[in-house]
Amino acid sequence: MDVLELKGIERTYRTGAVEVKALRGVDLTVGEAEFLAIMGPSGSGKSTLMNILGCLDSPTAGQYLLNGQDVATLNRGQLARIRNETLGFVFQAFHLLPRTTASENVELPLLYRDEQLSWKEIRDRAREALGIVGLGDRLDHTPTELSGGQKQRVAIARALVTKPRVLLADEPTGNLDTRTSLEIIELIQRLNDEGLTILMVTHEPEIARFAERVVILRDGLIRSDRRRTPLRAADSLADWSEESEDAMDEALGDRMETETTPPLEVGR
């Protein structure tokens, strides 16, 4: 069965007298365990689409079926429950709680579960999720004590901790360097291999190559929807460490030699 189904989705923003049609009739069907990249120029409506998919925003027209259920029929509380249990959302800006440790950030969605988990269970699941993203040794670090890539991993762990069916990631690599981006993509591919449906917004074609399906938005409409065999991020990472790092090492080494100056004589 299809996990997500969009039919003629429109979203119009009204700011005073000005109307902006961010989405103008999007039809999209995403199946179980697909890894889909959404691309498009800035302002084409990618974030708007993700917000609607994430039940954070509702369309002005059209129908959105999630697991066969029409989202428009749900009330605020039911939507909150879907955000909590079915969907995992990764924001471009991380949105971690400041001065709060990684594990507490990851625990957050579990606190809002309807069923009552024990504190031990909550702790264990947060630790497990951080383990999956490779941060098992950073449980007690606060966001200021983490690198950008690590923060994004915490955000992914937070999205995973509820064991969602769908992971929605709005530019998860937007703030990261190429190497860290590859690591995040490698993680996402692994999760996808395990059966998680993934929709990821990106504006970098190199990143989109790792998805099996690429949808391109322009002016609120889908302009292209293609499938192909994706690259494996794990392979790229392996290549990376041999070529790029060696090259960088050499370049740095040369410069060190030429720029080395004798130490200052300090008179006594």
Ligand X SMILES: Nc1ncnc2c1ncn2[C@@H]1O[C@H](COP(=O)(O)OP(=O)(O)OP(=O)(O)O)[C@@H](O)[C@H]1O
Stretch that binds ligand X, among 2-10, 40-48, 66-74, 143-151 (CB under 6 A): 40-48
Distance of closest approach, residue 125 Cβ to other proteins, in angstroms: 13
Which of 42, 258 has the CB closer to ligand X? 42
Distance of closest approach, residue 39 Cβ to ligand X, in angstroms: 9
Q: What sign for the dihedral angle of Cα 181, 100, 170, 199?
A: positive
Residue 72 CB partners (closer than 8 Å, separation 6+): 58, 63, 64
Which letter, b or e, does each residue of 55-91 get, where b requires 16 or more Cβ atoms within 10 Å of its Cβ?
beeebeebebbbeeeebeebeeeebebbbbbbbbbbb
Tell me the sheet residues that pair with 37.
200, 214
Strands 69-70 and 87-90: unpaired
- Of the candidates 139, 115, 119, 118, the one whose C-alpha atom is nearest the C-alpha of residue 127 is 139
Residue 22 sits in the site that holds ligand X (CB under 6 A): yes
Q: Site residues for other proteins, window 92-111 (CB under 8 A)?
A: 95, 97-100, 104, 108-111
Which of 51, 162 has the CB closer to ligand X? 51
Q: Rounded to the nearest 10 degrees, what angle do helices 119-132 and 148-160 cross at? A: 130
Residue 90 CB partners (closer than 8 Å, separation 6+): 152, 155, 156, 159, 167, 168, 169, 170, 172
Among 152, 162, 189, 197, binds other proteins (CB under 8 A): 162
15 binds, among other proteins, ligand X, Mg ion, none (CB under 5 to 8 A by kind): ligand X
Which of 108, 231 has the CB closer to other proteins? 108
Distance of closest approach, residue 95 Cβ to other proteins, in angstroms: 5
Q: Site residues for other proteins, window 45-84 (CB under 8 A)?
A: 51, 54, 56-57, 76-77, 80-81, 83-84
Residue 91 sits in the site that holds ligand X (CB under 6 A): no
Residue 13 sits in the site that holds other proteins (CB under 8 A): no
DSSP 96: P
- Of the candidates 206, 178, 175, 4, the one whose C-alpha atom is nearest the C-alpha of residue 86 is 4
Which of 40, 88 has the CB closer to ligand X? 40
Distance between CA atoms of residues 185 and 247, nearest Å? 23
82 in Cβ contact with 55 (< 8 Å): yes
Residue 14 sits in the site that holds other proteins (CB under 8 A): no
Residue 207 sits in the site that holds ligand X (CB under 6 A): no
Residue 45 sits in the site that holds ligand X (CB under 6 A): yes
Q: List residues near ligand X by CB under 6 A.
A: 13, 15, 20, 22, 40, 42-48, 203
Q: List residues near other proteins by CB under 8 A.
A: 51, 54, 56-57, 76-77, 80-81, 83-85, 89, 91, 95, 97-100, 104, 108-114, 116-117, 119, 122, 158, 162
